[in-house]
Amino acid sequence: MYPAPFRYHRPATLEDAMALLARLGDGARPLAGGQSLLPILKLRMDEPTDLVDIARIPGMRHIDGQGESIRIGALATHARIAVSEVASRFPIVQDCATGIADAQVRARGTIGGSVSTADPSCDWPTMLQVLDAEVACRGPRGERVVGIRDFFRDAYTTALEEGELVTEIRFRAPPAGSGGAYLGFKKAAPAYPAATVGVHLGLADGQVCRQARLVLGCAGPRPVQSREAEQELEGKDLNRDNLRRAAEAIISCSDPPSDSRGSAAFKRTMLHSLFMRAAEIAIRRARGETVKGGTLYV
């Protein structure tokens, strides 16, 4: 299918883009890399009257990986993030960025576009929730910062207000003695994943969990996080029995849809397997080991 007819706009500055979006109203959509938006338009899941192309706006492609405050511009592509200092410092970021679709999509798709679309099958929303990220938004009323868990309201629905754009993703550098991993499972590179899991663990004395962040993707309309599941690990030894209990606790909160990628029962089985594997990688990384993570294929 082809998209419904629309008007195309290419503002030169962020201020011009925000003014256009505010003036055009509900029928306008921002266009960055287009790798999330264009399939939606082709399937007629959305029929906007106007597209506002923000891809050439300067000042939104930065990737600042130094220090304790990490900042990634909304127009930074998946490919650039994958080879950035941020990915080198935090392997969980590299796990996510390198597993998104194929090389062509990674070269054009942007982190801001992925977050703004709020597709339940996209990778960045799940991974960023593991890191307690924040989303910087800018619109007619100025800038505001929204916690990632509050940013996603429902499938394809965010906290963005009329005329607002995502300008930056921010998170704090995880402390020493911690490690994370992000794993996905899918049939082939261009396909959406059937299941994804993000785990970040802080260790004390090499074995006791002092902090846990556990998030499932493709498991409901929003990333699934369970404080009860995290408490199954915190203050306890990270042995297989405790990890299994945490996996069962968070998977019980999930609601994966049955679709062409598998039945709900199959996806829950995959989520359990991915969780145990991601937790093992996170533990080893927290201990200083170099371990490969990322996407698994059929």
The helix-helix angle for 264-286 and 240-251 (nearest 10°) equals 140
Predicted confidence band of residue 40 (pLDDT cuts 50, 70, 90): confident
d(CA 51, CA 27): 9
CA-wise closest residue to 67 among 200, 172, 177: 172
Question: For the structural domain made of 63-171, what CATH number should be given?
Answer: 3.30.465.10
CATH of the structural domain 178-297, one choice from 3.30.360.10, 3.40.50.970, 3.30.390.50, 3.30.465.10 = 3.30.390.50
Domain map (residue ranges) of the chain: 7-53, 63-171, 178-297
pLDDT at position 213 is 98
The predicted model scores a pTM of 0.94
Q: How confident is the model at residue 3 (pLDDT cuts 50, 70, 90)?
A: confident
pLDDT digits (tens, 9 = 90+) for 191-202: 999 999 999 999
CB burial of 96-117 (b: ≥16 within 10 Å; e: otherwise) equals bbbbbbeeebbebbbbbbbbbb
Q: Which two tokens stand for residue 148?
A: 């990632």
Looking at domain 7-53, which of 3.30.43.10, 3.90.650.10, 3.40.80.10, 3.90.76.10 is its CATH number?
3.30.43.10
Distance of CA 191 to the CA centre of its chain: 16
